[in-house]
């Protein structure tokens, strides 16, 4: 019933909006007089300095144009975007999480930007984000910024346990866990690695590293491949790592419940697989932890290599119903330029349309992320993925079922495969 009312409201929101959808184009002469460009960016995405400088430059070069900047919250953004994109006062620029982008791209509610790719620094795009914004060969979403996970570790504990260099292979990683246990194992609260049962981002790295993937792409159709030997090997390594670490983390929760950074901040954890800025979260419990923490890329099974990583991030897009598409394109041109993309690297994120990550090198935690970022991948670019993120994630269920022994590996992967295929087929 709750759903029913929401549907009725969403529908009434678009009443009378039909008819003009297909006719608006950018070829018409821009209207005279003052105009307002509405930009929706997400909370915590673009650094404040970037936004302020960018808007000043944009307004200076576009007389009579005001940029109306509205910061949106991630929580509930899918519903909000659905309503906004169907309304008559759609924003001119939106930021879409890269796993949600295909849902909007496939429904033809975004402007096709294929012809303008070169205007937007197209040669330097991050592959994973380019794939997220692409549907059926057309580019609807422009890369914005990304981040990927790495292993965050306590330098002091590594040193005390006699680990001189950070692990560069799975074998060395497991060896480091053994050494940490030998040194600190007498403390019952100590965990060499905090790893909850449902950190599926980490699992993706292991599966990619084995040469597997979540799904196989054929045009716009995706088929789940979690039952492949490569995927199974990745899951087996997850289990091996989890058991070797003896982590106390719940097997039926992800890294957010409870928030792993808080537990790492408690000082009894030597490693966690997380994002660079989780160090700052941990520092809220213990400010000294920042200086004791460094990072290394998730090691590969092949010594000396880094494992491929899942890249989370954002795409920028212009809604099909936007009124100022010409201005929106100018805005995108500016924000995708090297000048402004450099600010993302300075803020500790991987820029989406620039290959210059030198600003990340100064900090060892960010440098580890940058090192792994060249081998970044995205989840299948299918509209079904948004359903998975907003609802029940079969990868999480699969991990918990296998790790707790509720299902065998074959049964768990087969069930997850089936659930994914159902989601992919809509």
Partner 1 sequence: MTSSVDTARSAGATPPAARPGARRRARRPLSETAVPYLMLLPGVVIMLGLLAWPAVQVLFISFRKLDLGELVRGKVTWVGFDNYTKILSDPEFWEITLRTVVFTATVVAATLLLGLGIAVLMRHLSGWVRIVLQLCLVLAWGTPIIAATTVFQWMFDQEYGILNKTLVLLGFDSFKGHSWFASGASTLAVIGLLVVWQAVPFIAFTLYAGLISTPRDLYEAAAIDGASGWQAFRAVSWPSVRPMLALVTFLSVLWDFRVFTQVWAIRQGGPDGGSTTLPVLGYLRGIAGSHFGSGAAVAVLMLIVLVAVTWRYMRLLIRSPETEL
| Complex with partner 1: residue 103 or 183, whichever CB lies closer | 103
Q: How far is the CB of 10 from partner 1 (least distance, A)?
A: 7
The distance of closest approach from Cβ of residue 201 to partner 1 in the complex, given in angstroms and rounded to an integer, is 18
Eight-class DSSP state of 110:
B
125 Cβ neighbours under 8 A, 6+ residues apart: 143, 352, 353
Which helix or strand (DSSP H or E) is residue 401 part of? helix 394-403
The Cα–Cα gap between 360 and 147 comes to: 12
* Residue 258 makes contact with partner 1 by CB under 8 A: yes
**DSSP per-residue codes, 362-400:** TSHHHHHHHHHHTTEE----STHHHHHHHS--HHHHHHH
**Residue length, the chain?**
426
Instruction: Please pick, from the candidates 24, 66, 82, 168, the single residue that binds partner 1 as defined by CB under 8 A.
Output: 82
Choose among 240, 242, 248: nearest CA to 264.
248
Per CB under 8 A, the list member of 365, 367, 396, 402 interacting with partner 1 is 396
Site for partner 1 in 13-32 (CB under 8 A): 14-19, 21-22
303 binds partner 1 (CB under 8 A): no
Q: Report the residue from 170, 183, 232, 251 that binds partner 1 according to the rule CB under 8 A.
A: 251
| Binding of partner 1 by 36 (CB under 8 A) | no
Q: Which of 37, 50, 93, 109 binds partner 1 (CB under 8 A)?
A: 109
Does the protein bind partner 1 through residue 326 (CB under 8 A)? no
Comparing CA positions, the residue from 129, 124, 95, 131 lying closest to residue 110 is 95
Q: Is 135 in the site for partner 1 (CB under 8 A)?
A: no
- How far apart, in Å, are the Cα atoms of 26 and each of 22, 29, 58, 108? 12, 8, 19, 16
Q: Which of 378, 386, 395, 420 binds partner 1 (CB under 8 A)?
A: 386
Q: What is the DSSP string of 100-168?
A: THHHHHHTT-B---GGGGGGGTGGG--HHHHHHTEETTEE--EEEEEEE-EEEEEHHHHHHTT--S---
Helix (H) or strand (E) holding 35: strand 35-42
Distance of CA 4 to the CA centre of its chain: 31
CB-nearer residue toward partner 1: 2 or 32: 2
Nearest to partner 1 of 57, 107 (CB atom): 107
* Interface pick for partner 1 out of 94, 249, 272, 367 (rule CB under 8 A): 249
Choose one: 51-59, 91-99, 287-295, 381-389; the region binding partner 1 (CB under 8 A): 381-389
Q: Does 292 bind partner 1 (CB under 8 A)?
A: no
Residue list 183-242, contact with partner 1 (CB under 8 A): none
Q: Does 250 bind partner 1 (CB under 8 A)?
A: yes
39, 70 contact by CB (below 8 A): yes
Q: What whole-number distance in Å separates Cα of residue 276 and Cα of residue 280?
A: 8
Report the distance separating Cα 231 and Cα 294, nearest Å.
29
Q: Are 115 and 329 in contact (CB under 8 A)?
A: no
User: Is position 415 an interface residue for partner 1 (rule: CB under 8 A)?
Assistant: yes
Q: Which stretch binds partner 1 (CB under 8 A): 104-112, 127-135, 299-307, 373-381?
A: 104-112
CB of 159 to partner 1, least distance (A): 28
Cis peptide before 258 (omega within 30 of 0): yes
Asked if 370 is part of the footprint of partner 1 (rule: CB under 8 A), the reply reads no
* Rounded CA Rg of the chain: 23
Nearer to partner 1, 166 or 384 (CB): 384
DSSP state of 194: B
Which is nearer to partner 1, 302 or 392 (by Cβ)? 392
Q: Which of 292, 321, 323, 325 binds partner 1 (CB under 8 A)?
A: 321
Q: Does 323 bind partner 1 (CB under 8 A)?
A: no
Q: Name the 3-class secondary structure at 66.
A: strand
The residue within the footprint of partner 1, chosen from 156, 172, 252, 330 (CB under 8 A), is 252
The answer to whether residue 409 forms part of the interface with partner 1 (CB under 8 A) is no
Return d(Cα 416, Cα 406) in angstroms, integer: 14
Q: Is residue 207 within 8 Å of 234, Cβ to Cβ? A: yes
For partner 1, the binding residues (CB under 8 A) are: 1-12, 14-19, 21-22, 78-79, 82, 85-86, 103-104, 107-109, 248-253, 258, 320-321, 383, 386-387, 390-392, 396-397, 400-401, 404, 406, 415, 423, 426
């Amino acid at each position: 019933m709750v759903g029913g009312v929401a549907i009725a409201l969403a529908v009434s929101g678009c009443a009378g909006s039909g008819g003009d959808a297909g006719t608006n184009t950018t070829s018409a002469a821009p209207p005279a007089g003052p105009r307002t460009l509405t930009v929706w960016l997400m909370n915590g995405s673009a650094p404040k300095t970037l936004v302020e400088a960018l808007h000043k430059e944009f307004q200076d070069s576009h007389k009579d144009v005001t940029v109306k900047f509205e910061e949106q919250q991630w929580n509930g953004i899918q519903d909000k975007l659905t309503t906004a994109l169907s309304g008559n006062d759609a924003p001119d620029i939106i930021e879409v999480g890269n796993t949600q982008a295909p849902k909007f791209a496939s429904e033809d509610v975004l402007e096709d930007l294929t012809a303008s790719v070169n205007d937007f620094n197209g040669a330097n795009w991050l592959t994973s984000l380019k794939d997220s914004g692409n549907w059926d060969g057309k580019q609807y979403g422009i890369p914005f910024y990304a981040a990927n996970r790495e292993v965050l570790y306590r330098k002091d504990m590594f040193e005390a346990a006699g680990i001189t260099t950070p692990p560069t292979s799975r074998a060395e990683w497991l060896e480091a866990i053994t050494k940490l246990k030998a040194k600190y194992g007498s403390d019952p609260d100590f965990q060499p690695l905090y790893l909850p049962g449902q950190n599926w981002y980490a699992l993706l790295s292991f599966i990619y590293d084995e040469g597997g993937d979540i799904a196989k792409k054929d045009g716009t159709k995706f088929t789940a491949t979690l039952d492949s030997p490569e995927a199974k090997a990745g899951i087996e390594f997850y289990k091996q790592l989890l058991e070797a670490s003896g982590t106390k983390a719940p097997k039926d929760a992800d890294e957010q419940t409870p928030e792993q950074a808080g537990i790492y901040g408690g000082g009894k954890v030597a490693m966690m697989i997380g994002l660079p800025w989780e160090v700052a979260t941990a520092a809220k419990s213990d400010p000294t932890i920042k200086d004791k923490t460094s990072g290394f890329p998730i090691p590969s099974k092949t010594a000396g290599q880094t494992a491929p990583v899942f890249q989370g991030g954002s795409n920028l897009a212009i809604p099909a119903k936007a009124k100022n598409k010409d201005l929106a394109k100018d805005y995108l041109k500016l924000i995708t330029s090297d000048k402004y993309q450099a600010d993302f690297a300075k803020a500790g994120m991987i820029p989406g349309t620039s290959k210059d990550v030198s600003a990340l090198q100064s900090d060892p935690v960010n440098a580890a992320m940058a090192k792994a970022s060249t081998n970044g991948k995205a989840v299948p670019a299918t509209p079904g993925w948004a359903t998975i993120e907003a609802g029940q994630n079969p990868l999480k269920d699969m991990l918990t079922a296998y790790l707790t022994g509720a299902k065998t590996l074959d049964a768990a992967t087969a069930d997850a495969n089936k659930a994914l295929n159902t989601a992919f087929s809509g």
